[in-house]
Structure 1
């Protein structure tokens, strides 16, 4: 059965209202893409803690049942919120297909650092990864698969550490990919924190798939027990990293390491100054347009 797809560009500030309107009008699904790179369907960030990971301009793709009247749909959107800009709206008919399979087929095993491999659960482990730290992930979950530079930067950092016997905090865990990588790299336990219940469920499901379910705990931010960890990674937005700086600093044990990502190039200087209150040796590493900041908690 074919579907009617509505494509619409909007500002990040309008996304929540527009997505709510689309869902209320019967959208079967709503996907968010970077409007500056709408052809790249992998340009999806892991959900942040406290806010959505959005770009300055977004392309929304909404699927509606076959036979949905285009003009009536636009009229209903305008009536729902007259302030919405619908000038970029366009429609096309898309044929039905195995969406999960089409999504998974875009992915291949990926290596990060010296040891870490992310392998889609439906693919064979490549021979060169046999002795590595292998995380098998369901790429059908829209919570991060390692393809985005922010995730890649964090995976590379974890790969460089000696995690044997340590407990790692993954703040803004999304799919749990960073926590799972830490466990596969030798961490004794990991804790994931996220404000999205679906992300927490995805993290636990992925942990079970990887045989480390008993070593991962997940919490909503309000339920997270106060503790200090030798390793903390937070892959969220720069604004959230700024707002949560005191909390994140309190989670790192003296002498422990922290990695902060989800930071656009140009935002790192202010964050380094912010975290210098608690951390030494702060440095930034760039991948494409994204930055990672690492540092050591002052004793």
Structure 2
């Protein structure tokens, strides 16, 4: 299907009202632009920090309305002009075609395979793996809750690759399940993923089935009554600093004596604060920093103990 855009240049005082009127007259969508964009007369439009400007228009505004190609664009403009009290004869507009595009293919072209660590590739389903012999995860962008592109996810994946476990692994705040799948593909005997968001659990299960992994996923309440072991050789949590601080007793209590705790979602500037909160339970240090984010890691000594509270 093809479309036609109506392009109208108007004063700021009429831009928003005309936009609404064009929608009412049959336009599919409307946007307002700075008609002087790219010139010396370009006008930045912003409000105070944390506040949107009251009127999203420029002194010299350009209103662009998308319409079906078969629509009567002259009639749409005339009706909209009448609604806002303007004379149609005083409105100058132009039309420009919008050709049909394969939007799926266009979107897919923006996502390429991601190389992580030494031998991990996250590959969208429409791509072939650059190295079929690598650890390959097929994971599409979208409602995936993490595809490995964020530094904190990369840090956790790199830690798991550098410290593969053949024991039990807990991915707390599992999101897409990407860390759980990496742990399983690296040889972990049993992997559990926990997340408070049921949609994340559903996405993780779909991703894990697609990648032919065996990982069990739960919301916290379901895990509590699942009958699974409640402490693990490796616990990894990629969340954010404040929730991680609140969960310090619980996450530390999930680690077997001699096991490892790995945390990310922590800015480098927050590292000392998080380390201090965990100090009564486990000694953490900065394992690696990437783009201002860090991964913290530490081993629970056999003499240490913590109470599982959730």
Give the TM-score band, short-chain normalised.
Answer: 0.5 to 0.7
Q: Label 1:222 to 1:115 Cα distance change in 2 as closer, same or farther (>3 A).
A: same
1:181 and 2:185 aligned: no
Residues 144-293 of structure 1 correspond to what in structure 2 (within 5 A)? 144-164=146-166, 166-212=167-213, 215-225=214-224, 227-280=230-283, 282-293=285-296
Q: Label 1:258 to 1:66 Cα distance change in 2 as closer, same or farther (>3 A).
A: farther
Matched residue of 2:269: which SS? coil
- Indicate the residue corresponding to 2:119 in structure 1: 115
1:118 positional shift: 1.3
Unaligned runs of 5+ in 1: 3-64, 72-83
TM-score, normalization by structure 1: 0.66
Matched residue of 1:143: which SS? coil
- Indicate the residue corresponding to 1:134 in structure 2: 136
Considering only CA atoms, is the larger Rg found in Structure 1 or Structure 2?
2
1:86 positional shift: 3.4
1:270 positional shift: 0.6
Q: Label 1:161 to 1:85 Cα distance change in 2 as closer, same or farther (>3 A).
A: same
Moved more, 238-247 or 225-234: 225-234
Unaligned runs of 5+ in 2: 4-25, 33-49, 58-62, 67-97, 303-310
Contact 2:121/2:129 (<8 A) preserved? no
1:221 positional shift: 2.2
Q: Label 1:245 to 1:87 Cα distance change in 2 as closer, same or farther (>3 A).
A: same
1:86 to 41, 47, 52: 52
1:167 positional shift: 1.9
Matched residue of 2:283: which SS? strand
Q: CA–CA distance in 1 between the matches of 2:127 and 2:161?
A: 22
Residues paired across the two proteins, number: 222
